[in-house]
Structure 1
Amino acid sequence: MSQHATARPQARPAPRRASGPTPRRLRVVAPPAAEGSGFFLAVCIALVLAGFVGVLVLNTAMAKGSFTMRDLQHRSDALADTQDDLRHSLDAVSGPGPLAQEARTLGMVPAETPAFLRLSDGKVIGVARKAAADKTFSVVTESSTSSPTGSGSTPAHR
């Protein structure tokens, strides 16, 4: 037995023709000419430019706000310094020593027998008498000796 088989040619059937019209022949046609106006392009360019201008205006406004805030911060710092200076000045003139000195300058002397006024009913408690002029009047604002706990000077009033 042989492994090779003989091939026989077969007859090709004839192509069928449609009974209708014959197909058209295809041909290359030039692309249609672009007939758009430049309106869409102009709108796109205008939008991009408007975006750039908007970002520029926003950036400028933020920079101006930053400078204004810096100036206000400097002014606030200066006012805080002035307030501290005024508080120190007020503390210097309103302490017991300066207050006693100002009272002495005005001719005031300490009362020997004070009288008190009760505000709830307006009653005077005690009898006030005229004080004699005392040339040795003094106010001690701090003690020069250390306290028993060793914490330094403590305020004492006479």
Structure 2
Amino acid sequence: MTRWDIQPLGVQGSLSVTKQGAEQLEKAAGDLLKHLASAAANAGTVVPGSAHFDFTGPVAPGQARPGSPMGPIAVALSRWMENRRPKLEFMATRTLNSYKGAVEAVNAYSQGNLEQAANAQSEAVRAPRMPDMPQGPGLYQPPAAGGQGATK
């Protein structure tokens, strides 16, 4: 059996730094949505009169403006965000799973259950199962049998 030498206080320090980073990432994602919504709302249109695209751009909660004309810049921002949303969700889910797995592993280690700690550790590094993950050139590719996932 493998002998472990985990320092719970060291892990706690690492988890604290990770938590701070995750909180900053969450704030940045919220700011991104807010600024994309503002950019989309202020980009204007290139169509005359009441003609407009039937798209709703990236809109922060509480800032929905149904029926507002959307120009090509707003449409492009909306599509850009639609493409990035699954990637951001995947990153957030994986970070949360890794954090929880590290907590569970160090708790199990502290309680003397090395098998439970090993299981928690191996589960923490697995990619989360997200059914709607986009695939294609330049996007996440699921791991091939016996191989690693690849991005282009």
* TM-score range normalised by the length of the shorter chain: under 0.3
Whose relative contact order is higher, 1 or 2, with alpha carbons under 8 Å and at least 6 apart? 2
More helix by share: 2
* Higher Cα radius of gyration: 1
Please give the TM-score of this superposition, normalised by the length of structure 1. Answer: 0.26
